[in-house]
Structure 1
Amino acid sequence: MGFRGYAELWADRPVRTLFVAAFFARIPAMAAPLVFTLFVVGPLDGTYAQAGIVAAASTIGAGVGSPWRGRLIDKLGMRRAIIPSIVAVGVLYPIAALSTSYALLVPLSFVMGLFLIPIFSIVRLSLSVMVEERLRRTAFSADSVVAEASFIIGPAVGVVLVTQASAAWALFAIGMTEVVAGLMFLRLNPPTRSAVDPDEPVVESSGPKGPWMSVPLAFLFLISGGTLAALIGTDLGIVAQLREIDHVGSIGFTYGLWGLSSLIGGVIYGSLNKSIRPTYLLLALGLTTIPVGLGSEVWSLSLWVIPTGFLCAPTMTAATEWIAKLTPEDRRGEAMGWQGTSFMIGGAASSPIIGVAIDEVGAWGGFVVGGLIATAIALLAWGGQLLPAFKPDSHSIEETPAG
């Protein structure tokens, strides 16, 4: 292992600025799912299944919009692609906060997802351009660490807003801060394509020729979806478990420990000199998610989330790293958008199922169902990748030093 790559990234001012902006921009996005769940099961007097439907509507909208916005970034640049999102977020969140109807909240959530500001895609796409390939794994891991730092703060802030003010005020605050985040990236305008020097000879993309989609990429998108199933199971399961034992105020602590363990996992993964197959990481993530429901107290639940948290950032980073390697630069924004869609589909498909499991058998059902879905997808992808025709060429990825 070596951590020199992180020092190189931090010494690069544009990259450092991008990480700082991403940290602040993600805090409201990380708080939103939890606040929506508490809004549905609290003021709207709904069930966890209904909260899962709201989450599914939002993720379906984001899944539809993510590739479209990614393609717009490829063609028009970042600024022109996110202006509609900034306007939509500024209008829709206040409407949702004022809503007293669950029936209205579902379509609102879909439209909000459709115009979600694609911070994840923008940051990963920009890093793939701004950072040398030898440091790409470290850069993606560093971004995962930044995301986990935001995750540690976001839900805790959301809980404070809900308990000290109300869920409606929390939604309104999230919407306004997401507008500020969008304006921040509009001002920063990170590069999404490599600069072309007219005096230099044209260097062809190192990515594959012809159609960019391939079976190995499809497996990576499937793995990304499975990752979200495990995360949704843990996310909803934590909220349900702490509500069952009447310790909702401890959500920030448990979420914080979950995020901190993921942050540590991301730091370690980024320091490795070789990549780990996303399939193996997802399998481990699914298997460690299943038993989390054994934690029946705040302290035991918080300890059980550490192993699954430790694998979150590495699993997401590894999938992104391989997608960036297997996709030509001029289609990378679209590919990152499709990965975002895969995350959203995984969340949308699993959220209602996990919600029903929690309603029917209790909080532990959320962990079991989410973990089983992730495990099944990992085994499916692993079996498919054993076929010679579908096996990705991992040599060049695994041998790339982390710096």
Structure 2
Amino acid sequence: MFSTYRRLLAEPGLRSLMVIGLLAKMPGLGISTVLILHIVGHLHRGFAAGSLVAACWTAGAGLGAPLQGRGLDRYGLRRVFGLLVTAQAVFWSLAHFLPYPVLLGAAFLGGLTTLPAFTVIRLALAGLVTDENRHTAYAVDAMTTDIAYMAGPTIGILLASTASPTVAFLVMGGLQLLVGVAYLVLDPPLQQARPTGGPTPGLRSWLTARMVCALGVTVATSIAVVGFEVAAVGTLQRHGQLAWSWLLLVLAGVASVAGGFLYGAMKRPPSVFVLTAVLGLLCMPIGLATQWYWLCLLAVPANLFVAPALSASAGAVSGIAPEGTKGVAMGTYASAILVGNVIGSPLAGAGLDHGGPKAAFAVFGATAAAVAALAHVCDARLRSRQKNTEHTERTAQADQDLEKAGVTQ
């Protein structure tokens, strides 16, 4: 098992990429929390107002991810990041002084130009790592995401509570800029950028039916992940045990890292459709818990599949996208995760309001499993049709070759 990871980490440039990738993800995952605390603590507005600013940032990031990916495909990392780092420097230097109405629009623009940390590291892994180690590399990427998810918001909250929301705001922005500069210096090989005057691949060149299946299962995975968070915290609140939420989230993160570690060591890992369907199904019985310790215990099996499902979905999207379009495809992958967040959170919340914890976990878990199953069926049919078409083409070519050989003789 450990030999798999030793072989992966021996790849040139991989260790520094993983370290910078981890540092890049932390502010990306903590910015929403810091924005909310800034609105509440510095501008003295409510959490609803803070959540609206965070939503504007998220909306901008979701819209900007495919556009940034297309820019990476066409112009390469340094030209794109030079522009984005400049835009982020302007935002973080001015946002602290902006009144609330202006900050709403600025947050959208800030999200639109945020650094595509997740997209870049996945593109770099596709270029740096051999086919043999690729699924292991994506598993490590998913594990670092779990670590960043536990660390990023926590650091923001600690800075806001021990120093001030202003300090947290500026530290997160500063870290974002430092990471951008580090990427500019490292300049990891993504793929060869196309000449400026070269032809631009159209939407149909990469957004195929199979790509839609891969993006669909990505949405399903995200529904399960964010649905679990909302339903689990809501369940603890209903039972008056919210103080244990930190332990639940830490255990969930550790379980996900452990699952990603095991997945990365597999020589023949399960498909993304199986992993996501199992993740959704294992979320459903968590709603039976009525005490915090049962909730923690039941959450472990489901979260073992979080990192594997995320890494497998990233690998599926990257594998289907042809060269020259991987940037826009991985940017769209990031947007698909945000779409799942937008669906999963209200889905779990509505289940809690109308049917309690059992309904909440059942609804989002069944939805994730059903979407994964549907995507699997569609993908299987498409692959079967593709094989039949290729077989027919080979047969026709062979017949033509025989006819030409007969004429020659």
> TM class, shorter-chain normalised?
0.7 to 0.9
Q: Which residue of 2 aligns with 1:279?
A: 273
Q: Which has the larger radius of gyration?
A: 2
Range that drifts further, 243-252 or 232-241: 243-252
Residue 313 of structure 1 pairs with residue 307 of structure 2: yes
Q: Are residues 364 and 153 of structure 1, via their aligned partners in 2, closer, same or farther at CA, if it must alter by over 3 Å?
A: farther
Amino acid at match of 1:257: L
Q: Which residue of 1 aligns with 2:117?
A: 119
Query: In 1, distance between residues paired with 2:243 and 2:156?
Result: 11
Query: In 2, distance between residues paired with 1:260 and 1:111?
Result: 34
Asked if the contact 1:384/1:390 (under 8 Å) is kept, the reply is no
Deviation at residue 326 of structure 1 after TM alignment = 1.9
Q: How does 1:187-202 map to 2 (within 5 A)?
A: 187-193=185-191
TM-score by length of 1: 0.80
Q: Which residue of 2 aligns with 1:85?
A: 84
Q: How does 1:112-261 map to 2 (within 5 A)?
A: 112-167=110-165, 169-193=167-191, 211-241=205-235, 250-261=244-255
Q: Which residue of 1 aligns with 2:320?
A: 326
Asked if the contact 2:221/2:310 (under 8 Å) is kept, the reply is yes
Amino acid at match of 1:79: R
Query: In 2, distance between residues paired with 1:55 and 1:364?
Result: 29
Q: Which residue of 2 aligns with 1:202?
A: none
Deviation at residue 111 of structure 1 after TM alignment = 2.5
Deviation at residue 72 of structure 1 after TM alignment = 1.0
Q: Which residue of 1 aligns with 2:403?
A: none
CA RMSD in angstroms, aligned pairs only: 3.4
Q: Secondary structure at the match of 1:191?
A: coil
Deviation at residue 38 of structure 1 after TM alignment = 6.4
| Aligned residues between the structures | 376
Q: Secondary structure at the match of 1:24?
A: helix
1:335 to 329, 335, 340: 329
Greater relative CO, 1 or 2 (CA 8 Å, sep 6+): 1
Q: Which residue of 2 aligns with 1:67?
A: 66
Deviation at residue 118 of structure 1 after TM alignment = 0.7
Query: In 1, distance between residues paired with 2:278 and 2:39?
Result: 32
Asked if the contact 2:32/2:57 (under 8 Å) is kept, the reply is no
TM-score by length of 2: 0.79
Q: Secondary structure at the match of 2:325?
A: helix
Q: Deviations over 1:17-44 (max 9, x none)?
A: 1111112221222223445566778964
Amino acid at match of 2:162: Q
Query: In 1, distance between residues paired with 2:364 and 2:315?
Result: 24
Range that drifts further, 336-345 or 297-306: 297-306
Deviation at residue 288 of structure 1 after TM alignment = 2.4
Range that drifts further, 294-303 or 223-232: 294-303
Range that drifts further, 319-328 or 218-227: 319-328
Amino acid at match of 2:73: D
Q: How does 1:42-53 map to 2 (within 5 A)?
A: 44-46=45-47
Unpaired runs of 5+ in structure 1? 196-209, 394-403
Query: In 1, distance between residues paired with 2:15 and 2:175?
Result: 21
Range that drifts further, 184-193 or 86-95: 86-95
Q: Are residues 91 and 297 of structure 1, via their aligned partners in 2, closer, same or farther at CA, if it must alter by over 3 Å?
A: farther
Amino acid at match of 1:113: G
Unpaired runs of 5+ in structure 2? 194-203, 388-409
Amino acid at match of 1:281: L
Amino acid at match of 2:85: I
Residue 382 of structure 1 pairs with residue 380 of structure 2: no
> What is the aligned-residue identity percentage?
28
Q: Which residue of 2 aligns with 1:26?
A: 25
Amino acid at match of 1:232: V
Query: In 1, distance between residues paired with 2:365 and 2:111?
Result: 25
Asked if the contact 1:30/1:155 (under 8 Å) is kept, the reply is yes
Q: Are residues 385 and 140 of structure 1, via their aligned partners in 2, closer, same or farther at CA, if it must alter by over 3 Å?
A: same
